[in-house]
Chains A and B, each alone.
Chain A
Amino acid sequence: GEDVEQSLFLSVREGDSSVINCTYTDSSSTYLYWYKQEPGAGLQLLTYIFSNMDMKQDQRLTVLLNKKDKHLSLRIADTQTGDSAIYFCAEMFSGGYNKLIFGAGTRLAVHP
């Protein structure tokens, strides 16, 4: 079955880089997503990557995909206090309808 796993917590110093990791099981997933959720808010789409890509960069965000190991990472450069949030990795279920399979979410805490 499909499953997405993430580490639950990451603490970084302001100005450092943050790397949030994710593993998934569905090798036929075509798209993988990163969403950000601030306290009490909805999910904000950060970026996504197509499964035939290895890397995607968007300003301070870099997504790396290792399809062989089914490993996805999100790197945030120059992490700021405003980046403190929960980050969800998600894969698109390949079973015929558009269902996102979410990881448990990684809480990123940025300290001075």
Chain B
Amino acid sequence: DTEVTQTPKHLVMGMTNKKSLKCEQHMGHRAMYWYKQKAKKPPELMFVYSYEKLSINESVPSRFSPECPNSSLLNLHLHALQPEDSALYLCASSRGGSGGTDTQYFGPGTRLTVL
């Protein structure tokens, strides 16, 4: 099973709203990722969690706040977003650790629209 699930599938929010995106995997992976993908562009890495600790923040604005409550779950808390933050948000997971391939498996994404 190489499934990563994400909820919700679609989200529309105003610039003053607070919302959260959720991601879950049950593959025993210890690394989890958030990517942002704009239309007709490749995914761009936002955050990496390794063994439930934030290891990489790719200079993402503070209106995006990641959280990893346990090794299976990854959240992305959204607050005071801008219309240009509208995008497909993808979660991925991988085995983690060093040595060998660390293939990333992606979820179906959450399509976010900020009005």
> Which residues of A are interface residues toward B (Cβ below 8 A)?
30-31, 33, 35, 40-45, 48, 50, 88, 92, 97-100, 102-105
Asked whether, in the complex, the Cβ of A42 is within 8 Å of the Cβ of B108, the reply is: yes
Q: Tell me, yes or no, whether B51 is within 8 Å of chain A by CB.
A: no
| Residues in A whose Cβ lies below 8 Å from that of B101 | 30-31, 48, 50, 92
Asked whether, in the complex, the Cβ of B56 is within 8 Å of the Cβ of A40, the reply is: no
A50-B107 Cα distance, complex, nearest whole Å: 24
Asked whether, in the complex, the Cβ of A100 is within 8 Å of the Cβ of B105, the reply is: no
Q: Tell me, yes or no, whether B45 is within 8 Å of chain A by CB.
A: yes
15 contacts between A and B (CB under 8 A): A31-B103, A33-B103, A35-B106, A42-B108, A43-B43, A43-B92, A45-B103, A48-B101, A50-B101, A88-B43, A98-B48, A98-B102, A99-B56, A100-B45, A100-B104
Known pairs A42-B6, A104-B42 / 10 extra A-B pairs, C-beta < 8 Å: A33-B103, A40-B111, A42-B4, A42-B90, A43-B106, A45-B106, A98-B48, A98-B94, A99-B45, A99-B56
> Which residues 65-115 in B have Cβ within 8 Å of A in the complex?
90, 92, 94, 96, 101-109, 111
Find the A residue at minimum CB distance from B102. A98
> Which residues of B are interface residues toward A (Cβ below 8 A)?
2, 4, 6, 31, 40-43, 45, 48, 50, 55-56, 90, 92, 94, 96, 101-109, 111
Interface centre among A40, A42, A104 (most CB of B within 10 A): A42
Find the B residue at minimum CB distance from A107. B40
Asked whether, in the complex, the Cβ of B43 is within 8 Å of the Cβ of A41, the reply is: no
Query: How many contacts between A and B, using CB within 8 angstroms?
Result: 57
A42-B106 Cα distance, complex, nearest whole Å: 6
Shortest Cβ distance from A85 into chain B, in angstroms? 13
Given known A-B contacts A98-B104, A100-B45, A42 and B109 have beta carbons under 8 A apart: yes
Interface centre among A30, A35, A43, A48 (most CB of B within 10 A): A43
| Residues in B whose Cβ lies below 8 Å from that of A31 | 101-103
Shortest Cβ distance from A31 into chain B, in angstroms? 5
A41-B37 Cα distance, complex, nearest whole Å: 11
Shortest Cβ distance from B112 into chain A, in angstroms? 13
